[in-house]
Amino acid sequence: MFAEFGVANLRPLLEGAVLTLYLVAMSGFFGTIIGLVFGMARVAPFAPVRWVAATYVNFIRGQPVLIILLFLYYAIPLMVPSATFARGPTAIIGLSVYAGAYIAEIVRGAIESVPRGQGEAASALGMGYLLRYRYVVLPQAMKVAVPPSIGFLISLVKASSLVSVINYVELTKAGAIVSNLNQEPLVTFLVVAALYFALSYPIALFGRWYERRLV
């Protein structure tokens, strides 16, 4: 069964895996920026800012990734007349919006875990809001935020498989195409699953190692 599954089948899957990695890296990067901004906004001193951030975070956390992706895929060309059905950008925007909401919750939890006195001491030293966050609160919060962020990164690898519905040819879509051609769905998707495991398990191991080191 595995013998016939040669290089011809494996190559498109490996190319798909590279694109999955690219999607995760891009949306992880933008998601982190969104998450930092909205996580800080969740604990901002000005109440309306908190409300806006809470609405975004709670609403997105109540949505399937698939709905976010389909909505953007169909809605962007309707709302922006010059835009076309661009798969790559839609995939990255969708996954970033999704990741941003979850990372914002992680960031908020991490900021709240920093003892209040730290921020107060910084203001007593005459630091303003930005200085206080840059030099006192965020460095301590980041340490707390890393382990759950690594956990979320694994979710993001798996969520990226849903991008196949808007026909972006990442690992899962590559698997679907290959299995249509070779009529061997069992082996093909076992290989796809193994590739996902190879992408995701090292992240899980790194997370565990990091947590042990922290204690």
Contact residues for other proteins (CB under 8 A)? 59, 61-67, 70-71, 74-75, 78-79, 154, 157-162, 164-165, 172, 175-176, 179, 184-186, 189-190, 192-193, 196-197, 200-201, 204
Least Å distance between CB 193 and other proteins? 5
Tell me the three-class secondary structure of the chain, residue by residue. CCCCCCHHHHHHHHHHHHHHHHHHHHHHHHHHHHHHHHHHHHCCCCHHHHHHHHHHHHHHHCCCHHHHHHHHHHHHHHHCCCCCCCHHHHHHHHHHHHHHHHHHHHHHHHHHHCCHHHHHHHHHCCCCHHHHHHHHHHHHHHHHHHHHHHHHHHHHHHHHHHHHHHCCCCHHHHHHHHHHHHCCHHHHHHHHHHHHHHHHHHHHHHHHHHHHHHC
User: 78 vs 215, which CB is nearer to other proteins?
Assistant: 78
Q: Shortest gap between Cβ of 10 and other proteins (angstroms)?
A: 16
Pick 28 or 119: Cβ nearer other proteins: 28
The residue among 64 and 128 lying less far from other proteins, judged by its C-beta, is 64
Shortest reach from residue 201's CB to other proteins, in Å: 5
The nearer residue to other proteins, 122 or 178, going by C-beta atoms, is 178
Which residue's CB is nearer to other proteins, number 14 or number 33?
A: 14
- The least distance separating other proteins from the CB of residue 8, rounded to whole angstroms, comes to 19
Nearest-approach distance from CB 189 to other proteins, in angstroms: 5
